[in-house]
Structure 1
Amino acid sequence: MSAAEITGNIHPKRKIIMGLYWINKKAASTEGCEPFLIEKITTGTNTHRPKENKFLKLSDNILNDILYNMKYQREVEFEIKFGKEDIKFSICKNAFFISATKKELEVEIAEKLELEGKKMYPGICSKFPRRVGIMDYP
């Protein structure tokens, strides 16, 4: 497992998007055009899974649950499938933790998150929040 510290003053919603975006972007470099699937989100209060034959999106209810748990400094875990790659990603306080099937991918993601975590406005594609279900992006 690799870790990345967030030293910038980043809004919690931006932290979530930043983490998911760079996981998606870095995994795409090894897995190609495979779908980016969030298979499970576990917070201190709930476990979210997609409904049968659906994709798990960050709906307002799920996002509010994640933000609530982040506010009270509880760990939030994401299980992501990208092609053959299984990635576990968690946020707790000001740190990201990443575990991937390929160790080099895990390290690459952690290094990029560490770099972006120093900025107030980390670099992400403007269309990505909608892809994961966030309609109101700060």
Structure 2
Amino acid sequence: MYLSAKLLSSLFLLWRLGAADKHHYCACVTRKGGPINVPATLKINRECSNALVLAQDNGQYWYGGHTPGPRHAGIFLSLPDKSKRLDGDYMHNLCKAAGAPDSACFNCDFYQEDEDGGILCQR
């Protein structure tokens, strides 16, 4: 009985790891559903132990509050190959290690860059 419970638990964990949501862009937040935690997000970007890069040029930021797109404005991270997606659970754990309580992620296939440095997700 103990072995079957342990096996079932292991199978559930493997399923959970395989079922994690994938996203184009992620950032750390100050609280669940809250604004972007820029220091924690930049801390992850500066670490050499991951391959995450800034998803926008220096001085640019993503507009928030538009669907599709992020809930809050700010900077986000992505993988260097923009065709690949970030694992949401992986990003959540990186944010917790960087001192942030949670992460926020979104997908965006097409975006518009404005002259003021803002980036708006189109879809």
TM-score by length of structure 2 reads: 0.30
Structure showing greater Rg: 2
TM-score by length of structure 1 reads: 0.28
Q: Larger relative contact order (C-alpha < 8 A, sep ≥ 6)? A: 1
